[in-house]
Amino acid sequence: MKVTSPIGELPFTVRGVTLHGGRVVVEGELGAWRSRIEVSREDIPMLARAFRGPLIAAGAAAAAVVLLRRL
Amino acid sequence: MAEPRVVVVGAGITGLSCAGALRGHAAVALVDRVPVTGGVHGWEAPETRELTAQSGARMLLGATAVRWDGEHLLVIGQDGAELLPADVLVVATGTRPLGRSELGIAGSRPAGVVAATVAVHLAENGLLVGRRPLVVGGGDWAHRAAGALLAAGAERVTMACPDGVLGGYPEQDEDISRLRKIHGARPVSVGGSPRVEYVELANGDLEGCDALVLAHGAVPLRNVDGAVWEGPRAVYAQPLADPAGVDGARRAGREAARAVRSLLESP
């Protein structure tokens, strides 16, 4: 994974994903820097909005594949 | 006898090559202020990956080298300050283009005069220092700056190349409607208020522009307090070739390692 930052593009390595206090915690490293991403319930609407487009596209593609196989 | 300790500041190709060449001869620590190796060459380059794997050094990445007292290097990283003992310090912190005073550019102090390093950084993040910038230089930094400015949406870029266009930069395939190169042009003064409006060249021509990007020449970047000038326990590995090449950087690293070993073997 890569993350764009003010000092350029850096590699992001995921070391583990845990549930902590009702939050999904992604622990990893941004280059050599220890990093942590916390996703809580309040973030779900924002994530749903961000992923709506790609999910619709993926669903449409899957439906098209299923239809083509049936024809 | 205890293994000698060497600290290398700068984990670019030069620093990595130096560390690799010292493997088996000294315990090496590599320090870099960004959290990846590779320096300007980039962390994804095959050479970077290969040299990083072979270096055998302790990596202190994302940490800033602050001060060298001849025996210890003070480093500030994500876990706080650390004093690294070292018998020799290697400074491999790269180079920067010449500044305005070093280029002898007279005139007022308008906004919009920036170093190429800054212009490239801003352009890569979508910020233009000017829509019609003039870039001084014909080498590596000048081409990087011109390319980044055009990619970020500059209307046109003029390159004033005091020493002409340096080797390795073919001029075909360039967007000549937006990029113009003036060979042998040396800026002598800048004018405008509050922003840059023109640059005067040595031949008397005035070039209209709204920013002046300084990208000519290369001088060593030395920002470790106590290791600015030659010292008995400091080795400088900063090749000044423009354009900078991987081979030159590797060579400089190996030469620095030889200098370190000679220092360590001397009484």
On whether both A31 and A48 belong to a single domain, the answer is no
B197-225 pLDDT per residue, tens: 999 999 999 999 999 999 999 899 988 98
Q: Which amino acid is at A18?
A: T
On whether both A8 and A26 belong to a single domain, the answer is yes
Q: How many domains does chain A have?
A: 2
Contacts of B43 in chain A (CB under 8 A): 10-11, 31
On whether both A32 and A61 belong to a single domain, the answer is no
d(CA B265, CA B267): 6
Average pLDDT score over chain B: 92
On whether both A1 and A34 belong to a single domain, the answer is yes
Sole residue written with tokens 């990619």: B151
Say what the pLDDT of residue B227 is: 84
On whether both A6 and A17 belong to a single domain, the answer is yes
On whether both A66 and A34 belong to a single domain, the answer is no
On whether both A1 and A35 belong to a single domain, the answer is yes
B121-154 pLDDT per residue, tens: 899 888 999 999 999 999 889 999 999 999 999 9
Say what the pLDDT of residue B267 is: 73
Contacts of B36 in chain A (CB under 8 A): 10-11, 31-32
Is B204 in a helix, a strand, or coil? coil
Q: Is the pLDDT of residue B191 over 80?
A: yes
Say what the pLDDT of residue B168 is: 60
Q: Which residues contact B71 (CB under 8 A, 6 or more apart)?
A: B85, B86, B233
Q: What is the mean pLDDT of residues B106-116?
A: 95
Question: What domains are defined for chain B?
Answer: 5-94+221-265 (3.50.50.60), 100-214 (3.50.50.60)
Query: Residue A71 is part of which domain span?
Result: 42-71
A6, A10, A34 member nearest B36 (Cβ): A10
Query: Each residue of A9-23: b (16+ CB within 10 Å) or e?
Result: ebbbeeeeeeeeeee
Bridge partners, B111 (sequence order) = B195
Say what the pLDDT of residue A7 is: 81
At B172, the pLDDT band (50, 70, 90 cuts) reads low
CB contact under 8 Å between A33 and B36, yes or no, is: no
At B228, the pLDDT band (50, 70, 90 cuts) reads confident
On whether both A33 and A50 belong to a single domain, the answer is no
Say what the pLDDT of residue B1 is: 66
User: Residue B206 is inside which H or E element, if any?
Assistant: strand B206-208
Say what the pLDDT of residue B229 is: 76
